[in-house]
Amino acid sequence: MNVQVKLYSIFRLPIPDYDVERGIDVEMAAESRLADLFTHLKIEMRKISMVRVNGNLIGDYCLSLKEGDKIEIFPLFGGG
């Protein structure tokens, strides 16, 4: 199954030629869950602040992915 992923801030850095407008297409196995995508992309869940799937804010990382899902992953932000 293919999903479209947009990464923000430091999550973009490990991916060469990352397209900030479009993101990346990721091929995942059928029955994959959101947490499986994080593992595939080598993103630690503890470093994630917010995830949106098809524009909806998601708090359950056990959510099953579907073909064509559009996923946005935001890291923790700090400041001071």
Is the predicted pLDDT of residue 79 greater than 70, yes or no? no
**Residue 4 backbone phi and psi in degrees, to 5:** -105, 130
Average pLDDT over residues 17-39: 96
Position 37 pLDDT exceeds 90 = yes
Inform me whether the pLDDT recorded for 26 exceeds 70.
yes
Across 49-61, average pLDDT: 96
Query: Could you tell me the residue ranges of all domains in the chain?
Result: 2-75
Asked if 15 contacts 80 with a C-beta cutoff of 8 angstroms, the reply is no
Please give the pLDDT value at position 77.
Answer: 82
For domain 2-75, is the CATH number 3.10.20.30?
yes
Give the DSSP H/E element, type plus range, for residue 3.
strand 2-7
Angle at 49 between CA 52 and CA 13, to 5 degrees: 90
